[in-house]
Structure 1
Amino acid sequence: MSVVTDLLARLDGIGRDPRGGWSRPGFGEADLGLRAWFAEQATALGLDVVPGRNGDLWAWWGAPGPDAVVTGSHLDSVPGGGRLDGPLGVVSALVAVGRLRAAGFRPARPIAVVVLPEEEGSRFGVACLGSRLMTGALRPDDARALRDADGTALADALRAAGVDPQGIGRDDAALARIGRFVELHVEQGRALADLDAPVGIATGILAHGRWQITVTGRGDHAGTTRMPDRADPVVAAARVVLAVEAAALAADGARATVGRIDAVPGGTNVIASRVEVSLDVRAASASAVRSVLARIEEDGALAAALSGCAFGIEQRSWSDEVVFDPALRAALVDLLGDVPQLPTGAGHDAGVLAARVPTAMLFVRNPTGVSHAPGEDAAQADLDAGVDALEAVVRHLAA
């Protein structure tokens, strides 16, 4: 068993979901356990662990300073997610840095491994929350007001994790220390498998956003209200979901997903008064996403009206299409050779940071392409190839 495989196996018991997969919501018990594990591992390597203002956690080789080479990822997960999404990038970074230290490498500039919090947005609804706060893409007041499904405010979750909620926000000092940022991640798709390549380089990220659709009807009694007399938002929401699918299928290369549906108040013998529907839309450009969204709004309102219900939609997050730094990408290609270069439809902290610092991404082959689900996996040889690539990149950039 390789070092990276062994370290990943040690994390398998943290946040294991009895329904399948792993559930590690940001700043929850499992996530905090992983963050504590990271601090222990980094300290054992001789790195200095320093918490950031926004719940980010840094492990430094050398004094924090300008032009640092930074790598890392996140540790939180979607509900019932896979074992590699996030932790692979953190574990690979620790292994790569450990190898360099053991080999006697002397970096000419600081090196840091960073853990960025709540990347998935599965708890508070905003993806890449930590990097958005750091770069100023998310206002502190808006972040502090976020609440999870249990009603816990982000401010309280931060406080419980030892982070001052009044101190969150754009962190120019942290950004100024980053010379280049490279994130390694399992590929969330099967392009590398189709190309028979263990490692690839990302060219960019599709534009994507998240919205909440609210379908409002009339709450009533399930046993006494005749079918023709109902304004049932659950029936209307079902039609809206079909309208979402149709809008995406009609647009070349677009993806639209409803991943969560909540009926309020949620009683078995109660006709709901409203239904809240999560919506995720992605496409090659911002205009393409907006085009799909416009059709969803139009067709969704018509679909809701068929059941006598009202349709509303509110944006929760937005990310323009990202093109990773061409010069940094070219340097990785020169170093790693003829590896595939490919875009991705998955959002990443690297995509948010790309607006402020030179950023690149490495992908490790996913044989099935399954991600955000328990079937997410990679062969040991490919995991090792990913660490080899990341070690070479960090060595080159820090020399």
Structure 2
Amino acid sequence: MVRWIIFILIYSLFTVYGFQAIKTVTKISWIQYLFIVVAIIVAGNFIYQFSIGSEGRVLNPAKSYAFGILLAFMSLNLVMVPILIGEDIIRLALGLYDKLFATKETFYMPSRRKFISTIALGLAAIPFASLLYGMYKGKYRFRVLDYVLHFEDLPEAFDGYKITQISDIHSGSFDNRKKIEYGVNLINQQQSDVIMFTGDMVNNKSSEMLPWADLFSELKAKDGVYSVLGNHDYGDYIDWPSPDAKAQNLADLIQLQKTMGYDVLLNESRFIERDGQRIAIVGVENWGKGGFKKAGDLKKAANQVNAEDFKILMSHDPSHWEAEVVNDDYHYHLTLSGHTHGMQFGIEIPGWIKWSPVKWRYKQWAGIYEELGQYINVNRGFGYLGYPGRVGIWPEVTVITLKKGSNNA
């Protein structure tokens, strides 16, 4: 109850400032009343959705939209409040000056300036519109990112080998079948040699994938579809009636992926062979820094792999790369990860800027990174979680082409 009281107080304060800006800019009463009505509906829906029964920390679609709409509305006020508070400080200072030094008998505080409120509203409209767009269009704005990576020790038979990576499907968040069909078709259109899925098929339960299993079963590649588990696949963010129920959920998810035609690597490895040469595909279970599950066992996963083999590692959380992979006795040529989603929010202009708040949490958070002659690609994710949208960080299908030789060749 205390948290709701605090929320209502803070929300009301921001809404009052927002209303003051609306009232200053326009004298049309119905617009002013509409702002108040919207504010009440947004807060009421958020409180209702987050007060009813919950299965865990991960948001279902209804809660996600309640959160997303609240976030958009609050962004409107969050931008306006500092500007209006700044104006209030100046107005107060002017009023005090007139009272103390201009010999005015009564304290008079200058009224708000329409110009300042208009500027505040204009600036606030940018994040507000962006967050609404992210929920309406951005979350399904799939894009294909192509990379070419050179390795001097790549087996010649694999020169030009194409890998399509997808990650973080989060099927429990989906709400538009046609858009997902488009995304799946886009993956197949790349006609890569192999498809690799790097974890988080669901938010909580294996049953979330059932309505979408037929679509993702259509993913095909000459050398197959490989997958690993992400932190959400274990069901750690939901309350289960018993440990057996939780274990059964994970077993069901693994079996479902196998039924879909995926080769699930649970701290295991596979070899892809061509013309008497081979590359190793190594897949670890989730291993993440901090409080994330550490079920990944790199040594166990690679116990059938030789040191001289060309190795591709699938590991959901990129923090694993720097913590254990880069300095391992084995040289892992390419690691494929996901997990960060690029926070589903940021600014990316190729060749100029790549920024998201998630960079303060993960050193490797999106795209290709290189260290000690080893590469990692952090996929920005196919789906979304929490905030039901994406702004600036779009859903991604990665295509990586392996080339023999150096970058200067």
Name the one with the larger strand percent: 1
If the length of structure 2 is used for normalisation, what is the TM-score?
A: 0.26
If the length of structure 1 is used for normalisation, what is the TM-score?
A: 0.26
Greater Rg over alpha carbons, structure: 2
